[in-house]
Structure 1
Amino acid sequence: MQETYTEFYSHHLGHNVKVLTFGTRGYPVVIFPTTLGSYFEAKDRGMIEAVRWFVERGFIQVFCPDSINNASWYANIHPRHRIERHIQYDKFLYDEFMPQIRYNTPVGRVACAGISFGGFSATNFAFRHPEAVSHLFCMSGAFDIKPFLRGYYDDNAYFNNPVDFIQGANDPHLWDMKIVLGTSNWDICLDANLKFSNQLRHRGIDHWLDVRGNVEHDWPLWLEMFPHYVSLI
Structure 2
Amino acid sequence: MFIENYRKWYSPHLEREFEMLVFGDQGYPLIIFPSTMGRYYEPKDRGLIDAVKWFVEQGLIKIYCVDSIDALSWYNTHVLPASRAYNHACYDNLLYHEVLPFIQSDSGHERIAVAGCSFGGYHASNFAFKYPARVSYLFSMSAVYDIKPRVDDHYDDNVYFNNPIDYMPDNEDPDLWRMGIILGSAANDVARQHTEFMSRVLDFKNISHWLDIRQDASHDWPTWKNMLPHYLSLIK
Q: TM-score, length-normalised on structure 1? A: 0.97
* 3-state SS of 1:12 partner: coil
What is the rounded CA distance, in whole Å, between the counterparts of 1:13 and 1:110 in structure 2?
Answer: 23
* TM-aligned CA deviation for residue 105 of structure 1: 4.8
What is the rounded CA distance, in whole Å, between the counterparts of 1:2 and 1:146 in structure 2?
Answer: 39
1:147-226 correspondence runs (5 A): 147-226=149-228
What is the rounded CA distance, in whole Å, between the counterparts of 1:154 and 1:15 in structure 2?
Answer: 25
What is the rounded CA distance, in whole Å, between the counterparts of 1:193 and 1:105 in structure 2?
Answer: 32
1:65-144 correspondence runs (5 A): 65-75=66-76, 76-102=78-104, 104-106=107-109, 108-144=110-146
Q: Does 1:48 align with 2:17?
A: no
Counterpart residue number, 2:26: 25
What is the rounded CA distance, in whole Å, between the counterparts of 1:208 and 1:2 in structure 2?
Answer: 32
What is the rounded CA distance, in whole Å, between the counterparts of 2:184 and 2:5 in structure 1?
Answer: 29
Query: How many aligned positions are there?
Result: 232
The runs of 5 or more residues in structure 1 that have no matched partner are none
* TM-aligned CA deviation for residue 102 of structure 1: 2.7
Name the Cα RMSD after superposition.
Answer: 0.9
* 3-state SS of 2:18 partner: strand
Deviations 1:98-123 (A, max 9, x none): 011135355x1110001000000110
Amino acid at match of 1:34: S
Deviations 1:45-68 (A, max 9, x none): 111001111001100000001101
* 3-state SS of 1:101 partner: helix
* TM-aligned CA deviation for residue 131 of structure 1: 1.1
The runs of 5 or more residues in structure 2 that have no matched partner are none
Amino acid at match of 1:98: L
- Identity of counterpart residues, as a percentage? 48
Verify the 8 A CA contact 1:181 1:208 in the aligned structure 2. Answer: yes
* TM-aligned CA deviation for residue 38 of structure 1: 0.4
Runs of 4+ in 1 over 6 A off after TM superposition: none
* TM-aligned CA deviation for residue 8 of structure 1: 2.7
* TM-aligned CA deviation for residue 154 of structure 1: 1.4
* TM-aligned CA deviation for residue 126 of structure 1: 0.8
Counterpart residue number, 1:63: 64
Q: TM-score, length-normalised on structure 2? A: 0.96
Verify the 8 A CA contact 1:8 1:19 in the aligned structure 2. Answer: no
* 3-state SS of 1:70 partner: coil
What is the rounded CA distance, in whole Å, between the counterparts of 2:161 and 2:25 in structure 1?
Answer: 34
